[in-house]
Amino acid sequence: MRKRRFSAGVSASPPGRWSREAPAMTAREGRPLDRPIILPGHDSDNRALPFAIEGMDVRGRAVRLGTAVDAIVTAHAYPPAVAGLLAETLALTALLGSLLKEDGVITVQAKGSTRAPIDFLVADFSTPGDLRGYATLHAGPDDVPPAEDAALGELLGAEGTLVITLDQGARGQRYQGVVPLDAPDLATAAESYFSRSEQIPTALRLAAGRDAVSGHWRARGIMIQHLARGGASGPAASEVEQENWRRARLLMESVRREELLDPQLDLETILFRLFHEDGVRVFEPIGIAPRCRCSRARLRDVIARFSAADRAEITIGGEIVARCQFCGKTYHFDPAEFEG
């Protein structure tokens, strides 16, 4: 019964798209499969999966980042707590980016208090699925709490802020929301962004950690939003709708960190475990890759805006060397390029 509900949602997608998952979901004991089951945890990484909970007016996204997040985080030598928070921020950014209906960029920035170990942390997602990010520290690595899962306040201080910016390239629209980082974790801070800035009831879970065997970073996230029929959500929604939302929220919050990070559990399995009683339908996943938008031309434009005196100051050994903070790539310029 439960399995049938889930596979009904899956088979509603265009045929063939779910051929990898379908045999694993529907196979019965003793019946030989006509194709091999691919164990989850490998090619199901690096994607965001849109889903809907049938009958509850709830839409959501789940994201699973493996090599994509590991490549971004390990491009820099961060203390484990900073790497962990950056990995969670990347999962949050991918969740938000996967909501974009047209071309654009979502940027998530966390600014630390003056005395906090982290000065600045940023991740951005540009359509269709390019992800990047980096962090800068106020102090040396010795001043960062040693635990991989240090609390948000320990890393960003009590007066940190979370800034979420949406740039929609084609129309040139820009929207920015700022919320204080006075929450116990990043997911809670992001929820308060949604309730203050977007007024859409939203619940989020984020997790990041290193694989016990390989040591590779991975990050996961689940987000649900209440989009009630007729457009009424929040306090304006009917009692039944509000009850549905409370229930969906409780179900989502029942997911444990270890479950989210378990390499053997793919997103479909986690969603099925959480919401099978109400019927969950999944849609076409969005592929996510670690890709930086830096280019020689962009950095050249930045340097061209400097005064001649400032350019002279950064000229060392007859050249200007600029390094992309996101990916670490270096670009070399001849100062003569900027004269005249």
Q: Give the binding site for Zn ion (CB under 5 A).
A: 292, 294, 324, 326-327, 329
Q: Residue 54's CB: how many other CB atoms inside 10 A?
A: 15
Q: How far is the CB of 76 from Zn ion (least distance, A)?
A: 12
Residue 270, exposed/middle/buried by CB under 10 A (0-12, 13-18, 19+)? Answer: buried
Between 303 and 324, name the residue whose CB sits nearer to Zn ion. Answer: 324
Residues in CB range of 72: below 8 A, 6 or more apart = 86, 90, 131, 132, 133, 134, 290
Between 83 and 292, name the residue whose CB sits nearer to Zn ion. Answer: 292
Between 174 and 298, name the residue whose CB sits nearer to Zn ion. Answer: 298
Q: How far is the CB of 86 from Zn ion (least distance, A)?
A: 15
Q: How far is the CB of 134 from Zn ion (least distance, A)?
A: 9
- Positive/negative CA dihedral, 235, 237, 239, 243: negative
Q: How far is the CB of 126 from Zn ion (least distance, A)?
A: 12
23 and 40 Cβ atoms separated by less than 8 Å = no
Cα torsion for 333, 336, 339, 340, to the nearest 10°?
Answer: -130
d(CA 223, CA 106): 16
- Across the beta sheet with 319-323, the strand order is 315-316, 319-323, 330-333
Q: How far is residue 123 from each of residues 3, 37, 232, 234, 239, measured CA to CA in Å?
A: 37, 35, 32, 29, 38
Between 156 and 327, name the residue whose CB sits nearer to Zn ion. Answer: 327
Between 100 and 324, name the residue whose CB sits nearer to Zn ion. Answer: 324
Q: How far is the CB of 324 from Zn ion (least distance, A)?
A: 3
Between 171 and 298, name the residue whose CB sits nearer to Zn ion. Answer: 298
Q: How far is the CB of 95 from Zn ion (least distance, A)?
A: 22
Q: Which of 158, 174, 164, 167 is nearest to 204 (CA)?
A: 164
d(CA 320, CA 316): 6
| Residue 101 DSSP code | S
Between 78 and 326, name the residue whose CB sits nearer to Zn ion. Answer: 326
Between 232 and 294, name the residue whose CB sits nearer to Zn ion. Answer: 294
Residue type, 131: L
Q: Determine which helix (DSSP H) or strand (DSSP E) holds 296, and give its type and residue range.
A: helix 296-304
Q: How far is the CB of 328 from Zn ion (least distance, A)?
A: 7
Q: How far is the CB of 130 from Zn ion (least distance, A)?
A: 11
